[in-house]
Amino acid sequence: MTYVDELAQAIRREIPPRLLPDGDTTGLFRFYAVLAMAKGARVVLEDVHDAWAAWMSEQDPKHQSLRPLQELPADIQRADQPYLDAIRTVARDRDIGLSGYRSGLRHDLAPEGGVSQADPRAGQPNCAPG
């Protein structure tokens, strides 16, 4: 199992089963895992909705909620809250996100697309080691 899938499963375990969408949600929870790694507990409701929208675009491109979060009725917006809470809980429990998830890998990278001297791939664009 990859580190992304392990994190995705941890987030999924935080969601009550009655709230899980039907069908294969593997991709959805991978998106949520990426949000956790990228933003940690600073993820916001709009991020969660955007990740869901990216996933739903392949599942049902005509879904009525495939609009920006702010355009949706309040009750539909609130449906994303348990997912936001789950991502934040897992991010906090694991101390991941903007605080440096990859233990020394991300902080070696230079800002603004530059290359850090500590980066063994000097001369390549600023990107996290895979």
- High-pLDDT (> 90) share of the chain, %: 74
C-alpha pair distances (Å), 43 with each of 34, 68, 126: 11, 16, 23
Rg (CA), the chain: 16
Q: Cα separation of 78 and 93, whole Å?
A: 23
**Claim to verify: residue 33 and residue 44 sit in the same structural domain:** yes
Determine the average pLDDT of the residues in 67-80: 96
Q: Cα separation of 44 and 12, whole Å?
A: 17
**Claim to verify: residue 76 and residue 41 sit in the same structural domain:** yes
Q: How many domains does the chain have?
A: 2
- Residue 97 confidence (pLDDT): 82
- pLDDT higher than threshold 70 for residue 42: yes
pLDDT in tens, 84-119: 999 999 999 999 987 555 543 343 333 444 444 444
- Whether 128 and 117 have beta carbons less than 8 Å apart is answered as no
**Claim to verify: residue 27 and residue 89 sit in the same structural domain:** yes
Range of the domain at 116: 100-130
